[in-house]
Structure 1
Amino acid sequence: MAPSFNDENSLFDFVVKEGNGVKGLVDSGLTEVPSRYIQPPHNRISKQHATTSIDQSMTIDLSELDGPNHDQVVKSIAHAAETLGFFQVVNHGVPLKLLDSLKDAAHQFFNQLVEKKAVYLKGVSPSPMVKYGTSFNPDKEKALEWKDYVSMIYTNDDDAHMFWPNECKEVALEFIKTTNQMVQRLFQALITSLGVKLDDSRFDELIGFRMVNMNYYPACPNPDLTVGVGKHSDMGTLTVLLQDGIGGLYVKKGDDSSPGSEEWIEIPPAHGALVINVGDTLQILSNGRYKSAEHRVRTTSVESRVSIPIFTAPLPMTKIGPLAELVARDGVARYRELLFEEYMNNFFANSHDGKKSLDFASTT
């Protein structure tokens, strides 16, 4: 018989503090979503009200950056960043075998006994660069997200080999290394399209922080009541995301819409493709020309889903703000200058709430 989690304190202890996560709930034989996971109606995700057709211009062949279509590819990248804040890339140089290995490693990590995963809980993890947890900010959220994760911040190879979980460290490290050049080229294309030139040290500072997550969304008995991840934008510069074949990623179209009337586009998985999305930092640097992608994740009752994002962001002590050339051109700075560490601390101190994280840097 499945244990009862009607008492919110016992559920919170079991899921969050003891490290059982959402997977532990499901493995206990749970047949209904506990009340702590039920989202208010305006936050729930309806497949019926989502657009599933993707504009072909949002899928970009990166191999053409090296050919006669270079300028057109750069324009396509910039157009996607200016409108949806999202695009997919193919022929990106990351081996497809590695992408399959990443998905397998994620399942391997989360299918372990809880004792093996809980050693990476906040406060006991052998390194502050590795964290296993559930939801985004359980202490602040009124309704928890139906997701477990392990997060690994890259500092150097030696630390990764020493501290990252054995089940996924080799493939996660390879993923970071094989996407590094791609991220540099994408960022260069976007900066060039702004008509701005950055020196090498500044360029490196703005994409020098890298963190890879492995996200696990257990099959959910009531997917219409929950979310895997709530509405949010990423805090960094660019995010590279590997989806598995199950799907559930939704991106919001446009910024100006009231809750309940937004238009969401479902991003169906494409074999071998990687999802790229603009983060808040790039919206700030571009003085609002590029749009960080507001997105969320739906749960499914069919089978457990994994996704593996790499978050590329500025180094913590880097100053971020609208690029000076753009402020001069626009006649206004839409965001203030601040240390990225300040922005990051504010981002993690709050629960997911659309793009409200940008208010922290806004001048309006």
Structure 2
Amino acid sequence: MANPSTTRFNSSPWPSKEKQNMTRFDNETSLFNFVVRDGNGVKGIVDSGISKVPQAYIQPSTEQIDKNNAPKCDIPPIDLSRLDGPDHDEVVNQIVRAAETLGFFQVINHGVPIELLDSLKQTAHNFFGLPAERKAVYRKEVSPSPLVKYGTSFVPEKEKALEWKDYISMAYTNDDEALQQWPVECRDDALQYLKTSHEMVRKLLEALMGSLGVELDDSFIGKKMVNMNFYPTCPNPELTVGVGRHSDMGTLTILLQDGIGGLYVRVPENVDMEKKGEWVEIPPILGALVINVGDMLQIWSNGRYKSAEHRVRATSTKSRVSIPIFVSPEATQKIAPLPQVVEKDGVARYTEFVFSDYMNNFFGNAHDGKKSLEFAKIN
């Protein structure tokens, strides 16, 4: 059999070619080499002309997403411009209420230019449209910079079923390193997105920490990373997922959706809301950004704020992009429930740990709902 790294597959009307592709992609080793090692990603599989999802991507029936039966989240977006006027307290209450219940909310008038959001979506499509060899230079094993990682799925080596997603991650240290190390095809828009969202992040955390009786400092903002996610069209979207069930490990996530949709969040069982335990879709709102609570904010708040369990479906209509900013503590930072909150609650629900240890546990396992929090939970 030819080496997958030197073989290009093209769409072909001949059944024998289709059969050849499916045989290759149903061979676990060949598929792993083609998708992961050689950097072709899921896009490479789609570009080969397949007509059905390879076996390695078929999720258990319990993990498959039935888009026809999932209700849409009808909570209106929060207007952040009202934080600077007489409605300040009302808006803070909206932010806090969302963090205490669903862990997800959308914001408008957030300070990030709408033109930039449109440009970001096109930039993401342009990057993932590059030849595989241009993207593969940023694979974790060979990337010229520790700040940049191109990959697919979440942790392919650990997953029982792969996720239908490719991504590029760009960690931020300072402007100069970003301009030097991030891929030239997307660095300018990604950096501008990160910088123009900074004030919004600060306002959100001021509201959330203030409600806990804690003054915001830079340790809560820590470090940031911009991802660009690409979900290629899928011939059988009902059989696989773009991203499996998980909560984000950091403090806050700021997410730009495109207009296609496919993001779902699970309503916690222990909150005062309708549809407890159900998955609801977060519909795209033009010009809005999605905010979700991460594990660290749940731990700092001693469980008052809820990190959101969420997932993403695949789609057959059009390739989809999303661009999140992950706000996280520094790797060396010690994390524990805040003393002011523990004093009020009378008990700490999580133990103290170093964030790098939490990261290692998080990235050492496949997505599995909110199981990552068990690392710090006191039983």
TM-score bin (small chain): over 0.9
Partner of 1:113: 131
**TM-score, length basis structure 1:** 0.96
Partner of 1:136: 154
Q: CA deviation at 1:52?
A: 1.1
- Please give the alpha-carbon distance, in whole angstroms, between the structure 1 residues aligned to 2:46 and 2:348: 48
Q: CA deviation at 1:197?
A: 2.8
- Please give the alpha-carbon distance, in whole angstroms, between the structure 2 residues aligned to 1:129 and 1:253: 34
Partner of 1:166: 184
In the alignment, residue 193 of structure 1 is paired with which amino acid?
A: S
- Please give the alpha-carbon distance, in whole angstroms, between the structure 1 residues aligned to 2:182 and 2:140: 14
Partner of 1:290: 305
5+ residue gaps in structure 1? none
In the alignment, residue 173 of structure 1 is paired with which amino acid?
A: L
Matches within 5 A, 1:151-190: 151-190=169-208
Matches within 5 A, 1:13-24: 13-24=33-44
CA contact (8 A) 1:217 1:305 kept: yes
CA contact (8 A) 1:206 1:315 kept: no
Q: CA deviation at 1:256?
A: 6.0
In the alignment, residue 189 of structure 1 is paired with which amino acid?
A: A
Considering only aligned residues, what root-mean-square deviation do their CA atoms show, in Å?
Answer: 1.2
Change (3 A) 1:272 1:132: same
- Please give the alpha-carbon distance, in whole angstroms, between the structure 2 residues aligned to 1:320 and 1:185: 21
Q: Which has the larger radius of gyration?
A: 2
**TM-score, length basis structure 2:** 0.92
The sequence identity of aligned pairs, in percent, is: 65
Partner of 2:7: none
Matches within 5 A, 1:53-202: 53-56=73-76, 59-198=77-216
Runs in 1 of length 4+ with deviation above 4 angstroms?
Answer: none
Partner of 2:374: 359
Which secondary structure state, in structure 1, belongs to the residue aligned with residue 178 of structure 2?
helix
Partner of 1:344: 359
Partner of 1:328: 343
Alignment partner of 1:280 out of 295, 299, 308: 295
Partner of 1:34: 54
Which secondary structure state, in structure 2, belongs to the residue aligned with residue 212 of structure 1?
strand
5+ residue gaps in structure 2? 1-16
CA contact (8 A) 1:279 1:293 kept: yes
- Count of matched residue pairs: 355
In the alignment, residue 301 of structure 1 is paired with which amino acid?
A: S
Which secondary structure state, in structure 2, belongs to the residue aligned with residue 275 of structure 1?
strand
Partner of 2:252: 238
CA contact (8 A) 2:206 2:215 kept: no
CA contact (8 A) 1:236 1:280 kept: yes
- Please give the alpha-carbon distance, in whole angstroms, between the structure 2 residues aligned to 1:25 and 1:255: 38
- Please give the alpha-carbon distance, in whole angstroms, between the structure 1 residues aligned to 2:201 and 2:270: 29
Q: CA deviation at 1:190?
A: 0.2
| Alignment deviations for residues 220-270 of structure 1 (CA, whole Å, 9 cap, x no partner) | 00000000000000000000000000000000001469xxx9401101100
- Please give the alpha-carbon distance, in whole angstroms, between the structure 2 residues aligned to 1:128 and 1:343: 19
Which secondary structure state, in structure 2, belongs to the residue aligned with residue 150 of structure 1?
strand
CA contact (8 A) 1:206 1:318 kept: no
CA contact (8 A) 1:208 1:315 kept: yes
